[in-house]
Amino acid sequence: MDFGHFHIVILDVEGRVLKSNKSFEKISPSPLGKEFWKSLSLETAEEFCYSFELMLSSPKIRRHLLLEHPGWDENRFSQIWWEFSVITTPEMDISAVIGIGIGVHLLEQEMPWTNLVDVLGFGKISLDRNFRIIDWDDRIENWFGENVQEWKKKALTQTKDFGEETVIFEGLHAVLDNPKPFCFLLKNKGENKSDFAALLASGNNGYQFFLVPKENSKSKSQEAKVFSDRDINLIKGPMFVLNHEGILVQQNLEAKKFGADCLGRANTIGYHLNFSAAPEKFLKFFSAIDSAKKGISSQFEQSIFISKDEIRFWEVSIRPVQNFKGEMKGIIIHLLETTSYKKQIFELYQENDKLKEMAIQPSHILRGPLSSMLGILELIDPKDLSEENKKLFGYLKPLAMEMDDKIREYAKTISSWK
């Protein structure tokens, strides 16, 4: 379990250390059997406990946390980026929680930034040499919503989201004077919005600004709920409730499962819905949410490719919720899976094609011998027949031709089926 600079711990469902590597033991001596939160500062211990409960309730969610561990000097702390994941059995029972961490002091050295973005869950904003914003990734767009549309070609200090933060100015001066990255906490002054752990680093053609949201249990719990927890979980199908800004404030258990199965991970209360896995496939969602903010309801069908061989279908309803004064209270997103119905319809089409083929086939089988019979009848000269046979022959040919017409008409009718 020793991987250089990485700290690794395995915790039981009560948060006690079952196993750890030597790197972690350097910052927390003799950790086995001890509760992990006791190796943290009081402030980050609360944050860890809150996130740990969320992980146990939604095992497929990974958590990224910046935690403080006491150093040799009790008045100083080592900051470590952690990623926690739940380990489950094939029956989806929780067996343990694994955590992988790396010290912030290592981030302040030359590191493979792209890999760290993937491993530690950062969002990235690219800046030019004058600190103007060039572009950003899908995580950033999900966290900041519509605000990102105002960023293009603006200096970082000219945006509403970052321009008033003095720590941003400190960071810009720091990376100008020193090639080492600058790590800091970005306080979000907006109501019910999250703080961000941030890192500003120099790149080949400019600068990279990395962000990851910090869990904030207090701000999330203050958001008013549209439904009680009991009522929302009685609703059939995934149900998401957004506030007037499009931030997720409630979701039922089926919504968490929908996020984990179809979006790569469950959505987190307090953030925008996560469609970062394939945002171009959810344009109808974005458009309908924007319409709901204007008071317009929408309904549409959404298909989602789960894997190369599996596709699932959903009927989606997105509508605004207003209070008794007619003021916007929030947005409800309700999904009903129609995959089984689609599958039944597809199977019915297949059965219909088989029946159609079976219905057409007899006409081909019968017309072969009948055509031969008509050909033979054409070869018979009635003059060579007796008077009695002439009479029978006069009945036979018209009946055969009538039968041929009936078969043709039947085949034409069958072939017109859809």
Q: H helices within 104-221, ranges in order?
A: 104-107, 113-120, 138-144, 166-177, 217-221
Q: Which pLDDT band, with edges at 50, 70 and 90, does 257 fall under?
A: confident
pLDDT on residue 120: 59
- For the 6-213 domain, the top CATH level (class) is alpha beta
Q: pLDDT: is 36 or 200 the higher one?
A: 36
For residues 175 and 181, is the Cβ–Cβ distance under 8 A? yes
Asked if residue 312 lies in contact with residue 304, where contact means CB atoms within 8 angstroms, the answer is yes
Superfamily classification of domain 223-337? PAS domain (3.30.450.20)
What is the total residue count of the chain? 418
Burial of 394 per CB tally in 10 Å (0-12, 13-18, 19+): exposed
Return the higher-pLDDT residue of 332 and 211: 332
Let me know the angle formed at the C-alpha of 181 by 175 and 186, rounded to the nearest 5 degrees: 90
β-pairing, 123-127 with 196-202? unpaired
pLDDT band at 75 (very low <50, low <70, confident <90, very high): low
Cβ-proximal residues to 277 (8 Å cutoff; 6+ apart), any chain: 263, 264
pLDDT score of 319: 93
286-295, 378-387, 407-416, range with the lowest pLDDT:
407-416
Residue 10: closest CA among 96, 101, 102:
96
The answer to whether 259 and 142 have CB atoms below 8 angstroms apart is no
pLDDT in tens, 168-225: 888 888 877 776 777 777 876 554 466 787 888 877 788 888 887 765 544 444 556 7
Task: Quick: pLDDT tens for 386-407.
Answer: 888 888 888 887 888 888 888 7
More confident call, 334 vs 231? 334
Which one is predicted more confidently, 156 or 73? Answer: 156
Quote the mean pLDDT of the chain. Answer: 79
Write down the pLDDT at residue 274.
67
- 244/37: higher pLDDT: 37
| Residue 181: both structure tokens together | 């990255």
